[in-house]
Amino acid sequence: MSQFLASAADAGIRIDRFLATRFSTESRTSIRKWLEKDFVLINGRPAKPSYKLRQGDRVEVTTIPERHLEAPALIPWNYSLEILFEDESLIAVNKPAGVIVHPGAGVHDRTVAHAVLYYHPEIRNVGHPGRPGVVHRLDKETSGILLLAKTQEIYLKLVTLFKDRKIEKHYRAMVFGKMVKAHGRIEKALGRDPSDRKKISVRATKKRPAITLYRVLKSYDFGALLDVRILTGRTHQIRVHLSSENHPIIGDTKYGGGNWDRISNLELRNQWKSGGFFGLHAYSLDFEHPATGKLLHLQAELPAAWNWEC
């Protein structure tokens, strides 16, 4: 059984939405079924999905999937993170490529979440216990800006901002292939690849809408550097969308970007290939600060390997 005590920041939030932030890997449909089957009690009584929490409410989830019953204790990791912005509410870091955001299948240590805990142990109780403070994700291979909340109140507000698409996200993508158009819009629904569940595909049977905008910043003989903005946040969205347009991310072997011979510059080809170059970087976030109301522009400069012309 899992238990929570509603704080002042939780007051007025619907119970189904509250539980969705605590069990973020579960769908809203699953959580509603918990409520319909009386698996969720508030102050000892069954609750409806529309119930709005009051400060001091005791929330008990009596029957949940086994993977949620015992969250592993995260051991802080003494790892130097590049801090892009920090105040009493939130922290933004420049995640290096190759570092995982939070523990998952087969990964139990040396993630960004472990590193942040080393410097801010108070974040341990913010959000999901298995990924404290984390409000969005980046693939392991992707570098760039990652936002974490430092308090539960800010965590819930940031989750809502992402859900309501009120945070503008821009990426830099280095892709193969000559771009015919200087800018474009890719609107293709995405879902699990029916032949490989570890991959995402535009040919999936069950799909969700996904929209990606791109603009060419520089062109090269092997491809282009793009500014990419996503209007939805689907798994592997940019990688799959660009690959579906025959412009795979350079270095993305999962989605067709592993043909290094397409780079005629031998020195660059060897540098990127041997260094494990992956051409996707979370470049900037623009949003209204959930505590101060001020507009924030957060930016993570490109890794050194991207500046090969200099």
CA distance 238 to 244: 10
195 & 247 share domain? yes
Query: Do 152 and 180 have their domain in common?
Result: no
Tell me whether residue 290 is in a domain. no
Tokens of residue 61, six digits = 């989830």
Q: Is 32 exposed, middle or buried (0-12, 13-18, 19+ CB in 10 A)?
A: middle
Q: What is the pTM of this model?
A: 0.77
Q: Is residue 16 flagged as an active site residue? A: no
Do 177 and 154 lie in one domain? The reply is: no
Domain that holds residue 201: 170-278
Number of Cα atoms under 13 Å in the Cβ half of residue 146: 28
Same domain, 116 and 175: no
> How crowded is residue 310: how many other Cβ atoms within 10 Å of its Cβ?
5
pLDDT at res. 63? 61
Task: Report mean pLDDT in 10-residue bins for the chain, 310 residues.
Answer: 80 89 74 83 86 90 53 81 95 95 80 92 85 91 96 90 91 96 96 87 90 97 96 93 97 96 94 95 97 96 82
Let me know whether 129 and 151 are in one domain: yes
One domain for residues 117 and 136: yes
Predicted confidence at residue 128, as pLDDT, reads 80
At what angle are helices 152-163 and 15-22 packed, to 10 degrees?
Answer: 100
Q: Is 260 inside a domain boundary?
A: yes
Among 129, 164, 199, residue at a domain's last position: 164
Question: What is the CATH number for 61?
Answer: 3.10.290.10
Q: How many CA atoms lie within 13 A of 177 on its CB side?
A: 16
Residues 46 and 137 in one domain: no
β-strand pairing of 191-193 with 196-201: antiparallel
Looking at the structure, tell me whether residues 185 and 225 fall in a common domain.
Answer: yes
Catalytic member of 139, 164, 227, 286:
139
Phi, psi of 266 (to 5 degrees): -60, -40
Q: So what's the pLDDT on residue 253?
A: 95
CATH number (domain holding residue 256): 3.30.2350.10
E-strand ranges in 117-203 read: 143-149, 168-176, 183-187, 191-193, 196-201
pLDDT of res. 25 = 61
Cα separation of 29 and 37, whole Å?
Answer: 12
* Beta bridge partner(s), residue 141: none
Paired with 146 in beta bridges are: 93
Domain identity same for 272 and 174: yes
Angle at 241 between CA 178 and CA 271, to 5 degrees: 55
Q: Is residue 14 part of a domain?
A: yes
Residue 192 sits in the same domain as residue 261? yes
Number of domains composing the chain = 3
Task: Please report whether residue 176 resides in a domain.
Answer: yes
Cβ atoms of 297 and 266 within 8 Å: the answer is no
- 291 within domain boundaries: no
Angular region, 119: left φ>0, alpha ψ -120 to 50, beta rest: alpha
77 falls within a domain? no
- State how far the Cα of 192 lies from the Cα of 176, in Å rounded to an integer: 24
In a domain, 309, yes or no: no
Residue 58: which H helix or E strand, with range?
strand 58-61
The answer to whether residues 51 and 87 belong to one domain is no
Q: Where are any strands of DSSP class E within 99-195?
A: 143-149, 168-176, 183-187, 191-193
* Residue 302 lies inside a defined structural domain of this protein: no
Residues 63, 103 within the same domain: no
- Supply the pLDDT for residue 112: 93
